[in-house]
Amino acid sequence: MDKVRLALMMLILLGSIFANKNLAVADASKQLENLKLKQVRNQTASKTPVLLGLYAPDYLGNQSTIDSQLRQVDQWVGKRHSIAGLFLDIEDSNPAYNIPVPLEQLKHNGYTAFINLKSTRSAAQIARGDVDSSLQKVAKAYADWAKKGEGRMAFIAPLQEMNIPGEAYSQDPQNFKLAYQRIQKIFKEAGISSQAIRWVFAPNGWSKKNEHRFENYYPGDKSVDVVAFSSYNWGYCSNSSWKHWNSPKEVFEPYIKRMKVMAGSKPIFIAQTASTSNTQNGLQKGAKDRWLQDSYTQLAGMGVRAILYFNINKECDWAINSNSGKSAGYKDAVNNPAFGYLSPTELAKKI
């Protein structure tokens, strides 16, 4: 009996040793696989240029707008922009036209759309389904366009700049997250492939109170493909409530660092940026030029994947052709070799 018991104990011991060895081998294999995957991603990222983007003041469904407000800028700076920013209201009167037409025109001309999906409704109203019927029309229009295939893809940023005052949906973290997820759910129900859309979390960088720091609005890694933020140099613009010439470091660095902590695995875009030429000593085009040069040089080395310039004179003289003449600073800034172009098909594969 003792011999049998001893033999059984030896078998159990040997089984445990082999099991542990197998587990160790499996763990090592998994670690090696993860390391290789990380290396592939890093190699892919290192081969991907920092992308340039522009917002245009007029309707991008018109070829004349694309020619004069995108392609002419490309020709002037000697480098192509990959992304075109635009705004679309959830309750747009004709999404069946106002989604596929500009998206198709942009794709035909070699640009990928970055859609800020805005609303005049509160985050709570969107979260509880008050605009579901409008969202379903938007989602269907996007699905019909995307289902044509051939790498059709756009970036969609629901309820941009939600963490600062100014919009009906502003400053409601909990309902923003619910609204964001409801929008995604409706798009998924429309049959849109995950390959045909990149969901963007696009707050403002700065917020007045800690409770509205963008981290409090983040819907989570599973709901987001790209993280982005808006940040401007308002300088001494008449519409600025706080007069101060902001250096590129002030405008970008703290928010990039925070986004890397919040969502370290996600690509970072500058969703909107621009500078005024209004300084403490009046309009100075040279100051804006230097700001642009310094900003793009700094951003090229900070790990961002795209920069979209708000080329529209709205609150301030943001446009690069403001105040008599185009900004040589912008032209110089984007000719940094770190910036490059990806076609819509290439971009869909890379990001």
Q: Are residues 60 and 23 in the same domain?
A: no
Quote the pLDDT of residue 83: 99
- Residue range 89-105: average pLDDT? 98
In terms of Cα–Cα distance, which of 75, 71, 78 is closest to 339? 78
pLDDT at 102: 98
Q: How confident is the model at residue 7 (pLDDT cuts 50, 70, 90)?
A: low
Residues 97 and 221 in one domain: yes
CATH of the domain at 290: 3.20.20.80
270 & 226 share domain: yes
The pLDDT of 125-150, averaged and rounded, is: 98
Q: Is residue 328 predicted with pLDDT exceeding 50?
A: yes
Q: What angle in degrees, to the nearest 10, is found between the helix axes of 248-262 and 285-300? A: 30
Hey, is 162 helix, strand or coil?
coil
Rounded to an integer, the average pLDDT of 28-55 is 60
| Alpha-carbon gap, residue 233 to 252, rounded angstroms | 10
pLDDT 10s digits, 254-285:
999 999 999 999 999 999 999 999 999 999 99
319-344: average pLDDT: 89
Of 47, 66, 85, which residue constitutes the final position of a domain? 47
pLDDT at residue number 31:
54
Lowest mean pLDDT of 13-17, 66-70, 165-169, 297-301, name the range: 13-17
Confidence of residue 21 (pLDDT cuts 50, 70, 90): very low
- Gap between the Cα atoms of 326 and 330, Å rounded: 8
* Mean pLDDT, residues 65-69 taken together: 97
Domain count, the chain: 2
Helix axes 132-146, 100-108, angle to 10 degrees: 30
Specify whether 286 is located in the same domain as 302. yes
Pairing mode of beta strands 282-283, 278-279? antiparallel
pTM attached to this predicted model: 0.86
The angle, 0 to 180 degrees and rounded to 10, between the axes of the packed helices 132-146 and 173-189 is: 50
Each residue's pLDDT tens digit, 245-254: 999 999 999 9
Per-residue model confidence (pLDDT) at position 239 = 85
User: 33-47, 159-173, 314-328: lowest mean pLDDT where?
Assistant: 33-47
pLDDT for the residue numbered 242: 86
**Higher-scoring residue by pLDDT: 6, 205:** 205
pLDDT bracket for residue 324 (50, 70, 90): low
Does 55 share its domain with 38? no
- Quote the domain boundaries for residue 16: 1-47
Please indicate, yes or no, whether residues 312 and 323 belong to a single structural domain of this protein.
Answer: yes
Same domain, 36 and 138: no
pLDDT tops 50 at residue 39? no
Asked if 24 and 136 sit in the same domain, the reply is: no
Q: In the chain, pLDDT over 90 holds for what percent of residues?
A: 82
Q: How far apart are CA 235 and CA 328, in angstroms?
A: 19
131 and 15 belong to one structural domain: no
According to the model, what pLDDT value does residue 6 have? 53
According to the model, what pLDDT value does residue 270 have? Answer: 98
Q: What is the pLDDT of residues 111-123, one digit of tens each?
A: 999 999 999 999 9
Judge whether residue 209 has pLDDT over 80.
Answer: yes
Q: What is the DSSP string of 265-285?
A: TS-EEEEEE-B--EETTEE-H
- As a whole number, the mean pLDDT across the chain is 90
Q: Are residues 125 and 10 in the same domain?
A: no
For residue 182, which of 262, 98, 125 has the smallest C-alpha distance? 125
On whether both 191 and 284 belong to a single domain, the answer is yes
pLDDT digits (tens, 9 = 90+) for 216-244: 999 999 999 999 999 999 999 998 888 99
- 322 and 190: one domain? yes
